[in-house]
Structure formats: C-alpha cells, structure tokens
A = this chain, B = another copy of it.
Amino acid sequence: MARTSGSRASETGPRIRAAALRLFARQGYAAVSMRQIAAEVGLQVGALYNHTPDKQSLLCDLMETHMTDLLAACAAQDWPQDPARALEGFVRFHIRFHAARPDAVFMAYMELRNLAPENFERIEALRNAYENRLEVILSQGVACGQFGLSDVRIGTRAVIAMLTGLTTWFRPEGGKTLDEIEEVYVTLVAQAVRV
C-alpha cells in the first residue's frame, strides 16, 4: 500500500506471459531462456518465479489460454443452420481470430511437442473440440446433399490446414488486405466441398 511505483504489481504476471508468448513464437520454447524473458520485461531471473512455478507451466498456461479463448469465441458466434452459410462463417471466423493473434497461433502449433505428456493431452482435447465444430458443419452439409465431400474427416483437416497456413505468410503490410484474402479463402473452401 505504501508503494505506487509506476504500475500495479498484479500487472507483472500478464507482462511476463506476453513477453514469453512473443519470444516462444519467434524463437521456439527450447531456444528461449528464462533470462531472456526476464530481460524483456525488465526483471531479474529470480523474480519470474514469483509468477510461474517453472518454464513448462508458463508454456502450458499460454497454450491453454489460447485454446480456451478460441473455443469461447467460437461458441459465442452464432452459427447459421444452413451448412453452406455456416461453413462460410467458420472460414471468416477462423481467419479473423487467427490473424489477430499470430504469435499465439504459431506457438500453439509449433510447441505441442514441448508440452509434458499430461499437458499435451489436455491441450490436444481442446484442439479437437474446436476442429469438431467444422467437422459437424461438413457432416451436415454432406447429409443434406449440399456438400459432395467424399470424406468428412479428411476434408476437415484439409480445410483447417489451409486456413491456419495463412498465418505463416500473412503480413498486414503485404499487398493484400485481410478482407481481400478472406474472400479468396471463402470461395476456395466453398468450391472445394461443393457437390
């Protein structure tokens, strides 16, 4: 209560996580040291351990936060009954959500193998829950004859890979706006699965 020293103490945790996210995404979990994270935040190494039990927990927290944010945002969307319209909505939602947080997406994709086994299982379950949203849409479209997909499971993975791949090359300063790219993807996906 005596000190007001610049910022609330409770903001240090989030700042550490933000720095770790940046660094993990750019250099990879194994290549980033706790010292580097501390320096990025303006702390000494020891101080980090007031905010996380260890490096692995830091990674796991970031991954879990990203996945639960994704699932929450996905659930908050309103999903049209019509499969074709739902699919279009999914493509737009996925692109916008992922393009808005490239670091988290990149990390979530690349660092799965650096999770301890029990952490991996939990994160993997969250990921499957998300992909299931798309799989249900494709199934419904096939069931009612709107989509001509010969294998829903493969189609789901193909579409997810195509959409997520966008974040590996999209740069806001590039020639195309995100809106323009979104339109191209909407068309590509819609045509790919139609009868």
Contact = CB atoms under 8 A, between A and B. Distances in A.
A9 interface: no
A110 interface: yes
Given A154-B184, A191-B191, A31 B114 contact: yes
Interface residues of A, number: 38
A155 B168 contact: no
From A114, A149, A187, A192, residue with most partner B Cβ within 10 Å: A192
A115 to B, nearest CB: 12
Given A150-B187, A151-B176, A165-B158, A26 B113 contact: yes
A113 B165 contact: no
Contacts of A113: 26-28
A136 to B, nearest CB: 18
Interface string A163-195: 011101100000010001101110111011110
Contact of A188 (B155, B164, B183): B155
Interface in A131-179: 149-151, 154-155, 157-162, 164-166, 168-169, 176
Contacts of A158: 162, 165-166, 184-185, 188
Interface of A: 26-31, 110, 113-114, 149-151, 154-155, 157-162, 164-166, 168-169, 176, 180-181, 183-185, 187-189, 191-194
Given A154-B176, A154-B185, A160-B165, 16 more contacts: A28-B30, A30-B30, A110-B110, A150-B187, A151-B176, A154-B181, A154-B184, A155-B184, A157-B166, A161-B166, A161-B168, A162-B162, A164-B165, A165-B165, A191-B191, A191-B192
